[in-house]
Chain A
Amino acid sequence: MSYLFFARWFGLISIILAFGILFNPKNAREMAKGMVHTETGYIMGAVLPIVFGSLAFMHHHAFESGPRLIVDIIGLSMILLGTFRAWFPEQWKKILGEHIDIVPPMFALFGMMFGLILLYVGFISPLIR
């Protein structure tokens, strides 16, 4: 799996999920509330980011400049977020509980931004390089 494959695959996932959350905020808020108290939060907050982040980070090569760097940074951020959730569950629950109203729109915004940049890296950038 190359970094291009990851960029295309994860970019598409991010965009689809971001749109889903953006246009269904009520549902997303209920889901976020559920995440604080159930094991879904552990899977969504720790397992998946660590799995996806490590997959992206597997293609890291000394942070060389270029589109690969974006995949490195996104992968590293996901690993850090997942690790924080896994190692400090109480702090994670506290933060999520305090900002439960703005977590879904923030997730949608970041999902769109990451998705767009990953789609650019995956589809357009190889054409011009």
Chain B
Amino acid sequence: MRIAALKTKYNKSVFKLFWLLITVLFLSSCDQKLTGILNPKGIITYEERILLFDSVALMLIVVIPVIIMSFAFIFRYRETHCEGDYKPNWSHSVFLEAFWWGIPCMIIIALGMLTWHYTHKLDPYRKIDGYPVSLQVQVVALPWKWLFIYPEYNIATVNVLKLPVNKQVEFFLTSDNVPMSAFFIPQLGSQIYTMAGMQTKLHLLPNQTGTYRGLDSQYNGDGFSDMHFPVDVVSQKEMEKWVSSVKQESQRLDIVNYTQLRQKSIAHPTTVYAGVDNHLFHNIMHYYMGKGPLKFNSANNE
């Protein structure tokens, strides 16, 4: 008997230790490893995190009491319960119905108002209040790589994006020769789709320097899993330095290079181009709108 009791006690201890280890294992990933919306590095993501937490809190004020009360009822009506409060004929209470329909209705109204407010405030097409647009970037989703064109600097990059800190960036996005894709930098803000023959817009404002992960969050074929890129957020001075260094490169985004980029390739290496046709982005869209073959103005390609 004593051995059996000891065995049971031992098993319980092992079981507790197992759960402790599992908990520690999960918590170990919490130390400075928060990514995406939980570790915001831009104005938009900060607001999105507030919306996420407020919405979850509003829902939890119903969920947690319901869970606690479920246990309270189990505890109250356990086997030893001997109070004479059994009411077999009780069936309806207007007072109670008003409460348990009224509270969820109020929460849904509050959630609706909150979501409506933030949906308009964080509209990707809407410029961020209080900050002038300092940089425009044209983004083209290609199979399976991202092309970034900086029209102001007349440079382009593939699979690498450099942005200045504390400056509002306006993105214009489309895609070429690849199914619908989705441009997403989780730590900086909203995801936005790219579609052939159409232009979508996105406004972001990074407020901390660092390197963040950008990705395609829409499955679009074989090379989808490698269609990601680093986003370097740097100071304005470093940005200018980088632009000057890119301009020193010999490679230009001409028709030959672009035709190669349009071909399918997986895990395409990071590439920079010192010159690009300023009308390339619009010509790509016009091509899909049935306005003739893809035009390439080599005169601007200097």
Contacts and interface: CB of A to CB of B under 8 A. Distances in A.
Given A23-B75, A109-B69, A128-B53, A117 B117 contact: no
A116 B64 contact: yes
Contacts of B99: 106, 109
B30 interface: no
B69 A117 contact: no
A92 interface: no
Given A23-B75, A65-B117, A99-B95, A112 B65 contact: yes
A25 B57 contact: no
Say which size band chain B's interface belongs to: 20 to 34
Contacts of B14: none
B61 interface: yes
A22 B61 contact: no
A22 B68 contact: yes
A124 interface: yes
Nearest to A119: B57
A65 to B, nearest CB: 7
A125 interface: yes
A99 B98 CA distance: 13
Given A22-B69, A102-B95, A128-B53, A112 B64 contact: yes
A82 to B, nearest CB: 20
Given A23-B72, A102-B95, A113-B103, A125 B53 contact: yes
A116 B75 contact: no
Given A102-B95, A116-B64, A129 B72 contact: no
A120 interface: yes
A94 interface: no
A113 B83 CA distance: 28
A26 interface: yes
A129 B51 CA distance: 11
Interface string B60-73: 11101100110010
26 contacts: A22-B68, A22-B69, A22-B72, A23-B72, A23-B75, A25-B76, A102-B96, A105-B69, A106-B99, A108-B69, A109-B65, A109-B69, A109-B99, A112-B64, A112-B65, A113-B103, A116-B60, A116-B65, A117-B57, A117-B58, A117-B61, A120-B61, A125-B54, A125-B57, A128-B49, A128-B50
